[in-house]
Amino acid sequence: MDTPEKILEAAEQLFADKGFGATSLRSVVAAAGVNVAAIHYHFGSKEGLIRAVFARRLGPINAARIELLDKYSAAAAPQPVPVEEIVEAFIRPAFAITSREAKQSVLARMFGRLHTEAGGTVHAILLEEIRELLVRFHTVLRQTLPELSETERVYRFSFVISAMAAVLMAPERIAMLSQGRVPVGNPEATISYLLRFCSAGLRAPASDRVSSDSVQVAGGEPANAGESTRA
């Protein structure tokens, strides 16, 4: 393993454990067994390192998301994609990378942190990377749930992201919430719980009246075609 890779591995682990802001470059080089100057030589700055760590992982995950969504889209056409499949296409790839390797949940926790660590550089990096992805998912969701106002649809999908991100970031928090009574760590079970909860939540009857609210989106389809109150 060459020096840049050693640094990336160590940084990933530390970012997952302590967060981006709280991880010092000095702790990274100590964990990687390389020199202090190596990070700046290879990545330029701390922000450059964070960016590189993500670039290595976020791409494949988002590609898998799009691939799954395309698959479900094709299978459902010309009907809208079922809610469950939209949610699964978004959630599963984020967990998939976890169960493959021994490192377990390091990646998952780092990505969870990416969603919850607000403000500043990190948030900007995330947004840059997933903007296109979100447009894609919202487009599909709009067809599946036309009875929701644009606003409520966006809120609901943000709830899905939040629930997923939180459980990715700190699976052990679940155990804490239950005073240790509940086992933790089975990714397949977690995915299943998330799918049930989020799908039902997305499909809940609309809260907004569908009226003046629907916002026209450039390049998107007209929102709120038929108004059906479906559970």
Partner DNA sequence: GTCTATAAGGAGATAGAC
Partner DNA sequence: GTCTATCTCCTTATAGAC
Rank residues 34 and 107 by Cβ distance to a copy of itself and give the closer one.
107
- Calpha distance 209→127 (Å, rounded): 30
C-alpha to C-alpha distance for 131 and 36, rounded to whole angstroms? 34
Indicate which of DNA, a copy of itself, none lies near residue 195 (CB less than 5 to 8 Å, by partner kind).
Answer: a copy of itself
Residue 90 near residue 137, CB atoms below 8 Å: yes
Q: Which is nearer to a copy of itself, 71 or 131 (CB)?
A: 131
Contacts with DNA in 2-61 (CB under 7 A)? 2-3, 23-27, 34-38, 40-42, 44-47
Length of the chain as a residue count: 231
**Residue 215: DSSP 8-state:** P
Cα 5–chain centre separation: 24
HSE (side-chain half, CA atoms, 13 Å) at 212: 0
For residues 163 and 198, the answer to whether their CB atoms sit within 8 Å is yes
Give how far Cα 198 sits from Cα of 64, 86, 93, Å: 20, 10, 16
* Cβ atoms within 10 Å of 55's Cβ, excluding its own: 12
Site for a copy of itself in 146-185 (CB under 8 A): 150-152, 154-159, 161-163, 165-167, 169-170, 173-174, 176-179, 181-183
Q: Does 62 bind a copy of itself (CB under 8 A)?
A: no
Say which entry of DNA, a copy of itself, none residue 222 contacts (CB below 5 to 8 A, set by partner kind): none
The residues in 67-106 that bind a copy of itself, with binding defined as CB under 8 A, are 84
Residues making contact with a copy of itself (CB under 8 A): 17-19, 21-22, 84, 113, 115-119, 123, 127, 131, 134-135, 138, 150-152, 154-159, 161-163, 165-167, 169-170, 173-174, 176-179, 181-183, 188-208, 215, 217, 230-231
Binding site for DNA (CB under 7 A): 2-3, 23-27, 34-38, 40-42, 44-47
